[in-house]
Amino acid sequence: MLSRTADNLYWLGRYVERVENTARLLAGTQRLSLMPIPKDEQGDLWRNLFQSDFERTAFEEKHEKYEENAVIEFMALDRNNPSSIRSCMFGARENVRGARHVLTTEISQCINETWMEIKDCSIEQITEQGTQEYLDSIKEHTHLLRGVIYGTMRRGEPFMFWDLGTTLERAENTTRLLLARSSSFHRATRRDDGFDFYRWGTFLRSANTYSAYRQLYREIDPVSVADLMILNTEIPRSLLACVEDTTEILRTLKREAACADMSEQLASELRTMRLDRVLRTGLAGFLHDFRKQIHEISDQIRQDFIMVR
C-alpha cells in the first residue's frame, strides 16, 4: 500500500475520533457549568479545556473571556482552529477523498452528508437548537461513520491504518479529558455535600463510561475513576487499553518496527505503575508525560510507515 494512502487512512481515524471526543469534552463541561459552583470556577471550567500556551493564545486573540459560547464557537466552529469540530471533519472528508480507492461508497456518502450538515453551522444556530442537542448529533454522526467503516471495509492494511489512527487519538483524547479535570482528583478539592457525586457522574458520562463504572465499582470516588480511565483494559477508552490496542496493530503491520517497541514499552510501564503514588505526586505531571510519549510514538509511526525515504 502506498504511504500516502496509509497517511490518509491514519488521519481519517484520528480526525473522526477527535471530532467525537471534542464533542464529549464540550458536552461534559457544559453540564458541569449548570451545577451550583462559584462564578470564578465557571471560567476555570472552560479555561481548563485549553492545555497549552499555544491553544490559550489562539483563543485569547479572538475572545476576551472563557465563556460558554466563546469556547464552543472556537472549539466547534472556528475555521482557523485546526482542532475544531468543523476543521477536523473537513480534514476527515479530504482524507476520504484521498483514499477513496480503498474505501466503500457508503463511507464517502456518510462523511459527505455529515459535512453538508455542519459546514455552515453558526453559534446562533447551536444556541437555538440547544448545545447538548447539537453535540449529541455530532457524536451520532461519528458513531454512524465508524459503524459504516467497520461494517463495510475489507480487513487488511487499509483497515489497520484507520484503526491505528483511531486508537492513538483515543489515548490522547482520554488524556485531554483527564487533564481538564486533573485538579478534581486532589483531596483538597473533594466535597461532602453531594457535589462530587454529580461531578464525577458527569465526567464518566462524558467519557461514555458511567454504566461500566457502576457495574465495576460501588461508590463514585476519584481513585476508582482514575483506575477505570487509566488502567482498566475492559474499558476501550482507558489509556492502557488504547496503548495495548495500538501495540497489537503495530505488531501485525510490522513486528520489528521501532514504534511497536515504543508502544509495548509504554504499555509495560502502565501495567507496573502505582496509581496511588501517581495521584499523590500529581496526576497532571503523569498525564503530560504520557501525552509526550504518545506524540513520540506518532512521530515514529510516520518514520516507520508513512514518510517516503
pLDDT tens digits for range 139-187: 999 999 999 999 999 999 999 999 999 999 999 999 998 988 877 776 5
pTM: 0.91
CA distance 229 to 236: 9
Q: How confident is the model at residue 1 (pLDDT cuts 50, 70, 90)?
A: low
Q: Domain-by-domain residue ranges, the chain?
A: 1-153, 156-309
Whether the predicted pLDDT of 188 surpasses 50: no
Give the least confident one: 7-16, 196-205, 250-259.
196-205
Instruction: Work out the burial of residue 105: count CB atoms within 10 Å of its CB; fewer than 13 is exposed, 13-18 middle, 19 or more buried.
Output: exposed
Give the least confident one: 157-166, 215-224, 293-302.
215-224
Rounded average pLDDT over 33-49: 77
CA distance 144 to 110: 8
Contact 247, 235 (CB under 8 A): no
Q: How confident is the model at residue 235 (pLDDT cuts 50, 70, 90)?
A: very high
Give the least confident one: 83-92, 194-203, 275-284.
194-203
Q: Which residue has better confidence, 307 or 266?
A: 266
CA distance 307 to 159: 19
Whether the predicted pLDDT of 55 surpasses 50: yes
